[in-house]
Each structure stands twice: as C-alpha cells, then as structure tokens.
C-alpha cells in the first residue's frame, strides 16, 4: 500500500484523522508508530471540540517527528518545525479554505476539489479527502526536503 492507501485504510478501521495521517508515515518515523498513535489519539474531530482539523494536526505531528527538537537549540528547532507546519497548513487552507474541523464540516463548498491521490483512490467522503490531502502535502514537503 502507498501512503494514501494506508491512511485511508486506517481511517476506515476507526483511527481518527490525525492517527490516519501518522499511519501513512509509519515506515519513516524514528520510533514505533504506536507511540505517535497514542500521542494523537485525542485529536479526532478537532480534539473533540471542532477546532484544528485532525488531518492537519496529524500532518504537523509527522513534521515534528521527522524534525525532532534539538536539545542544544530548542527554540531554533521549534521555530524550524513551526515554519514547516505553517507551509503545510497554508497549502491545506488554500485547498479547503479552512483549518478548523467545524468550519470544514459546515462549509458546503469545502472540499473544493479532490486531489490527485483522492481521485486515484476514488475518495469522495469529506474527512477522507482531508486525510489524503494532508498526507499528500506532507509527502511533497518531505520529498522536497530530501527527508523521504
């Protein structure tokens, strides 16, 4: 399975959006995926409050895992990872107009269009589109950075 299929599969198994994005990068993580799944278990439906989309949270979590904190420069490494997260969040928002789960679910025009991965998998359901798009954006970013 490719990353998109993996994320879609695990979402259909009952994992939340954040966890499903994390699953997609299982083979790239510096430690067992179960640790990341535990850390992201409370982020479904915008942490249960309709706030930041879980797929976006999962994307930022993967970036944090791929660019860990440098104990010699915690502030600098935090700013670096935040900057990476902002890039992915900005691209996600350009695609879907919102970052908040509640807003994404309430906006009848969101999602505006399916991404190439979603089209190739025949994905049309709302949250599945968010998940696959988040995986696409993180994958693209990490490839550009030479991390995967």
The reported pLDDT for the residue numbered 112 is 56
The reported pLDDT for the residue numbered 2 is 95
- In order along its 148 residues, the chain shows pLDDT tens digits of 999 999 999 999 999 999 999 999 999 998 899 999 999 999 999 999 999 999 999 999 999 999 999 999 999 999 999 999 999 999 999 999 999 999 999 986 656 566 888 888 888 888 999 999 999 999 999 999 999 9
The reported pLDDT for the residue numbered 113 is 65
The DSSP letter of residue 67 is S
Residue 100, φ and ψ in degrees, nearest 5: -80, 135
The reported pLDDT for the residue numbered 119 is 81
The distance between the two most distant Cα atoms of the chain, rounded to a whole number of Å, is: 47
The reported pLDDT for the residue numbered 110 is 59
The reported pLDDT for the residue numbered 108 is 64
The reported pLDDT for the residue numbered 121 is 85
The reported pLDDT for the residue numbered 71 is 95
At a CB cut-off of 8 Å and minimum separation 6, what does 63 contact? 81, 84, 85, 88, 138, 141, 142
Number of Cβ atoms within 10 Å of the Cβ of 4:
23
The reported pLDDT for the residue numbered 142 is 97
d(CA 119, CA 136): 12
The DSSP letter of residue 26 is G
């Amino acid at each position: 399975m490719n990353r998109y299929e993996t994320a879609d599969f695990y979402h259909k198994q009952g994992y939340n959006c954040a966890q499903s994005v994390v699953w997609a990068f299982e083979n790239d993580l510096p430690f067992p995926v179960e640790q990341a799944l535990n850390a992201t278990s409370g982020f479904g439906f915008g942490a249960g409050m309709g706030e930041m989309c879980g797929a976006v949270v999962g994307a930022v979590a993967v970036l944090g895992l791929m660019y860990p904190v440098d104990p010699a420069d915690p502030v600098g490494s935090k700013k670096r990872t935040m900057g990476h997260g902002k890039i992915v969040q900005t691209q996600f928002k350009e695609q879907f107009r919102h970052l908040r789960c509640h807003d994404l679910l309430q906006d009848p025009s969101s999602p505006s269009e399916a991404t190439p991965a979603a089209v190739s998998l025949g994905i049309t359901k709302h949250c599945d589109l968010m998940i696959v798009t988040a995986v696409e954006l993180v994958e693209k970013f990490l490839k550009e950075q030479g991390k995967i």
